[in-house]
Amino acid sequence: MLSFALGIGTQNTQGDWLEIYYPAPLLHPDAGLVEAAGKVLDAPAGNAAVSFVPEQCGDLAAALKAAGQPEQAELAESLAASKRPLVAMFLENDLPPQSAPEVYLKLHLLSHRLVKPHGLDLTGMFGLLRNVAWTSEGPIDIEELPARRLRARLEGRSLSVDCVDKFPKMTDYVVPTGVRIADTARVRLGAHLGEGTTVMHEGFVNFNAGSEGPGMIEGRISAGVMVGKGSDLGGGCSTMGTLSGGGNIVIKVGEGCLIGANAGIGIPLGDRCTVEAGLYITAGAKVTLLDDQGQEVKTVAARELAGQDDLLLRRNSQNGRIECLTNKSAIALNEALHAND
């Protein structure tokens, strides 16, 4: 079994799932736990999202306790007080998801650091998620928003809509240890933030993307992009993800790299690379290679430099050409700045 989780969620008036919160998802759970839960909930074989009611929580908790799973048993007991729909997600194999509960479990696994980006199959996930109004009163189906807003006003409340999106912010579901996030709305559920990661106010981290940590994120980490240890993404910089023009190329940033303010990359970087502020490197950009004496060697497409270590990429201020030479120094991050205890 790949994963198992007990969750509490929100549905619209038609019974469609809007979101699911899994307090304690498990990766490669004990076989006895899965068998005990499956028996009580009459779960089918394979990947299955099984809805259950609070009245079943007592039997579920007893079965989990007998299977030697006290923490999951305690969680099951607490769910007995729920006034919202409950679901148990049995994920036997990593296949393209077939339901919103399955998508939400995979997003939780990423943000809980149980799986790294590109470690799970998320094919077709967008079609399974509804566009939701994330409000001061929780998630609301877009079509039901006018009626909910009117009801709130009639009852003397002001309903505030924070955003309209398929994804919620990560910190409403998971807050990893050892991180700082200046603006929580800019980190989506499904982001993977390693210990020591700092996301400043203008930083953004998409789902299935993130930082190994420690690292300073003042720019954009697009979907599918992973940033290595000790790297710094300067203010306003961008990494091109596979959803925004990168095609099938997996964009990543190696260890000890610096992408300057308002710069960007459309190729993966190896370790100890620097991209000058304001310089955007796309895969087809022509780059002039320089030797140790600063003499021109040849001109190549930037894609030929993909994944190579110790590169300094800059724009010549006199002739405007993009140049590349060996970067002899790595970026040294301030250890005190990244101690997010």
- Do 20 and 64 lie in a common domain? yes
The C-alpha atoms of residue 288 and residue 296 are separated, in whole angstroms, by 7
Residue set of the binding site for Mg(2+)? 202
Q: Among all chains, which residue has been given the structure tokens 């036997």?
A: 92
pLDDT-derived band at 292 (thresholds 50, 70, 90) equals confident
SS3 198: strand
The strand pair at 180-181 and 138-141 is best described as unpaired
> Does 28 map to a domain?
yes
Average pLDDT, the chain: 93
The CATH number of residue 214's host domain is 2.160.10.10
> Does 333 map to a domain?
no
Structure tokens that stand for 74 in this block = 């305690």
Asked if 126 and 190 touch (Cβ cutoff 8 Å), the reply is: no
pLDDT-derived band at 295 (thresholds 50, 70, 90) equals confident
Q: Is the dihedral of CA 174, 178, 181, 182 positive or negative?
A: positive
Asked if 265 and 281 touch (Cβ cutoff 8 Å), the reply is: yes
- Do 102 and 139 lie in a common domain? no
| In the predicted structure, residue 113 carries a pLDDT above the cut 60 | yes
- Do 150 and 252 lie in a common domain? no
The last residue of one of the domains, among 59, 90, 122, is 122
Packed helices 57-66 and 31-41: angle between N→C axes, nearest 10 degrees:
150
213-225, pLDDT tens digit by residue?
A: 999 999 999 999 9
The C-alpha atoms of residue 120 and residue 95 are separated, in whole angstroms, by 8
Could you list the residue range(s) of the whole structural domain that residue 139 is in? Answer: 133-165
Q: DSSP alpha helices (H): ranges in the chain?
A: 31-41, 57-66, 70-78, 100-111, 145-154
pLDDT-derived band at 336 (thresholds 50, 70, 90) equals very low
Cβ neighbours for 17, distance < 8 A, ≥ 6 positions apart: 9, 10, 11, 85, 87, 99, 100, 101, 104, 130
- Do 152 and 282 lie in a common domain? no
| In the predicted structure, residue 337 carries a pLDDT above the cut 70 | no
196-248, pLDDT tens digit by residue?
A: 999 999 999 999 999 999 999 999 999 999 999 999 999 999 998 765 544 56
Percentage of the residues of the chain whose pLDDT score is greater than 90: 89
| In the predicted structure, residue 335 carries a pLDDT above the cut 80 | no
Structure tokens that stand for 177 in this block = 């240890």
Chain centroid to Cα 230, Å, comes to 19
> Does 253 map to a domain?
yes
Asked if 211 and 221 touch (Cβ cutoff 8 Å), the reply is: yes
Instruction: For residue 216, give the nearest of 251, 266, 257 by alpha carbon.
Output: 257
- Do 54 and 98 lie in a common domain? yes
The C-alpha atoms of residue 135 and residue 98 are separated, in whole angstroms, by 26
The number of distinct structural domains making up the chain is: 3
pLDDT of 332:
47
- Do 248 and 297 lie in a common domain? yes
SS3 259: strand
Phi-psi region of 78 (alpha: psi -120 to 50; beta: other; left: phi over 0): alpha
pLDDT of 248:
66
The strand pair at 311-315 and 48-52 is best described as unpaired
| In the predicted structure, residue 3 carries a pLDDT above the cut 70 | yes
The C-alpha atoms of residue 36 and residue 40 are separated, in whole angstroms, by 7
Residues facing 317 on adjacent strands: none
- Do 183 and 318 lie in a common domain? yes
Residue type, 245: G
pLDDT-derived band at 340 (thresholds 50, 70, 90) equals low
Clarify whether 155 is annotated catalytic: no
- Do 178 and 255 lie in a common domain? yes
More confident: 218 or 333 = 218
> Does 114 map to a domain?
yes
pLDDT of 65:
96
299-330, pLDDT tens digit by residue?
A: 999 999 999 999 999 999 999 999 999 866 54
Residue set of the binding site for succinyl-CoA? 220, 235, 238, 261, 276-277, 284, 314-317
Structure tokens that stand for 287 in this block = 């780059």
Interval 43-61 mean pLDDT: 97
| In the predicted structure, residue 136 carries a pLDDT above the cut 80 | yes
Residue set of the binding site? 202, 220, 235, 238, 261, 276-277, 284, 314-317
pLDDT of 187:
98
Of the residues 19, 102, 218, 323, only one is catalytic, namely 218
Q: What share of the chain is helix, strand, coil (3-state, %, to 5)?
A: 20, 30, 50
7-19, pLDDT tens digit by residue?
A: 999 999 999 999 9
Interval 155-175 mean pLDDT: 96
